[in-house]
Amino acid sequence: MNATVTQDMSLLSLISEASIPVQLVMLILLIASFLSWWFIFRKLFTIKEEQKLSDEFESVFWKGADLNELYQGVVNARYTAGSMERIFESGFREFIKHNRKSGMDVGAVMDGTRRAMRATYQREMDRLESHLAFLATVGSVSPYVGLFGTVWGIMNSFRGLSNVTQATIAHVAPGIAEALIATAMGLFAAIPAVVAFNRYSRDIDKLSTRFESFMEELSNVLQRQATG
């Protein structure tokens, strides 16, 4: 007499009937994936907005706008200003403060201006790079976490065969299927995180280069004013 083994192989059934460690692995990967997508979309809007604000500010700056008026405009709109505007504000504020001191060496004035811009630049880069480390961690760790769940699930499937007189594929298929779901979830969490990390790292590097170039150009402009 042949025994017929029937199993519900639907995705929800496989997840609900998985062992507790495998379910915990799936839950961790689900949370990691959700947070990754949250940071991916937030970072996308942040970088796009920063690129737009930098384009607009550079356009105004290189049209020959009066630096004092430009500085006042940035101060008035401080909470909506972009990174390049904040760098300009900190550098020009430091330049005005030192340049008003009579007898102060131009080199010392420019050193203070560059230090102020560099400090603001570093704060802005830290802000732009926030959560990138999380995406990198999810991208590198999630496949291994999923693999752990898979190994545990397959191990349980083969352990269950010890109580079966005649092993068939029907006995181990559900256990292996639920275990492989953990691997799939690990990849589902990792792939978008890796793609987003690489893309955003490249975009932020481009912004960093723009900011550094702007600081050098602004330093030259201010130095000509100080010696003029």
**What pLDDT is recorded for position 171?**
61
Which residue in 89, 53, 49 sits closest to 218, CA to CA?
Answer: 89
pTM over 0.85: no
**What pLDDT is recorded for position 4?**
44
- The DSSP line for the chain is ----------HHHHHHTS-HHHHHHHHHHHHHHHHHHHHHHHHHHHHHHHHHHHHHHHHHHTTT--HHHHHHHHHHTGGG--HHHHHHHHHHHHHHHHHTSTT--HHHHHHHHHHHHHHHHHHHHHHHHTTHHHHHHHHHHHHHHHHHHHHHHHHHHHHHGGG-SS--HHHHHHHHHHHHHHHHHHHHHHHHHHHHHHHHHHHHHHHHHHHHHHHHHHHHHHHHHHH-
**What pLDDT is recorded for position 6?**
46
Query: CA-CA distance, 81 to 89, in Å (whole number)?
Result: 10
Rounded to the nearest angstrom, the gap between the alpha carbon of residue 18 and the centroid of all alpha carbons in its chain is: 32
Q: What is the pLDDT along the chain (228 residues), one digit of tens a residue?
A: 344 444 555 667 666 667 788 889 889 999 999 999 999 999 999 999 999 999 999 999 888 778 889 999 998 887 888 999 999 999 999 998 877 766 677 888 889 999 999 999 999 999 999 999 999 999 999 999 999 888 888 887 777 666 666 656 666 666 677 778 888 999 999 999 999 999 999 999 999 999 999 999 999 998 888 776
**What pLDDT is recorded for position 38?**
96
**What pLDDT is recorded for position 167?**
56
